[in-house]
Amino acid sequence: MPSSSLRVVPTTRTVLLGALIASAVAVPASATAATTTAATTPTTAPAAPTAPAKEVVAAGVRFGDIDLSGLSRTKAKAALRNGLEAKAPSTADVVLTVAGRAHKLSMSTIKYRFDLEALSQAAAKAAPNTSLPVIATWNSASLARWYRSISSMQKASRNATIKIGITKQRVTGSRNGWKLDRGKLESLVGAVLKDPTKPRTLKLAVVRTTASVTVAGLKRQYSTLITVDRPSFRLRVFKRLKLSKTYKIAVGSEGHTTPAGMYSITSKQVNPAWHVPNSAWAGSLAGQVIPGGAPNNPLKARWLGLRDGIGIHGTSEAWSIGTRASHGCLRMHPSDVIDLYDRIPMGTPVKIR
């Protein structure tokens, strides 16, 4: 069934014919012996039928820019047909441009038609200076399919991404996109279907969509980042994803390997106490707690904790820097760890390879 079928139902008018039928009246006769006289009253003839009133369109009645003033209904219908055929609005394509690309809506595809009979009847009944509404039909299913094909077009937005590397950070930028407003699409095209005088070349603005994660957002998220390259004994600091500083370090010894993975700075201390691992590696100090700053405390100057007793700290054993020597921690020269300490906020991500 058509989606728009604003039709005027023709009205049939019947003029009733009256007939006056007179009855014959008998007149009495007087008779004499010589002659007889008879008289007859004639029957009254039927009245002539009343002609139907001629329907004429009132002054100023228009359909679009077609003036129907003073025309009979039959002539109004012909004027509509001629005027519409001259402009061919019922068969001309609607061309819609979206994001620089044109899309055609064929009137033959949706079986669009003006109902000239209903329009002419409406014109004959319209008050003076009336602009007639469009009375047309089309296939709603075909039109709905076209709406769906157009409104489904979009350019998806894309979030910025980061692949955290050891020596550099690989960032893919974000991209904004667009989509269509189905309601605005139907309103724009529907206005043309309902008014043959409107332009049939249309342009629909798209709705811009933005990425939820941008490069700027990643730079804020990773305002500070630490990476650790165990094979080369290097610790790197990145600020806003750009390399800021590189330090030499020592890493875990054989059997006490510094664990690889993603971590974060969970604690910070100045002159930390040393909770000695309860293992043969610690010798006679195993299981003890050595106060911060004590001569026999190997944790010098600063501590930046990662997990399970593993962290970044200064060491008095300068010879161990650049080797596998610790119980899993990352050792630094005291001056370096003091320099690092003030650059690194709590929660800083740490990637160890």
Which active-site residues does the annotation give?
313, 329
* DSSP H or E stretch at residue 63: strand 62-63
* Full DSSP string of 233-258: TEEEEEETTEEEEEEE-BEEPTTSPP
* DSSP H or E stretch at residue 330: strand 330-332
Please, are residues 300 and 272 in contact by the beta-carbon 8 Å criterion? Answer: no
E strands of 74-154, at which residues? Answer: 94-98, 101-105, 113-114, 136-137
* DSSP H or E stretch at residue 215: helix 215-221
Q: What whole-number distance in Å separates Cα of residue 153 and Cα of residue 150?
A: 6
Tokens at 113, concatenated? 């038609």
Burial readout 117-129 (b: 16 or more C-beta within 10 A, e: otherwise) = ebbbbbbbebeee
Residues 6+ apart with CB under 8 A from 172: 160, 161, 162
Tokens at 221, concatenated? 């998220």
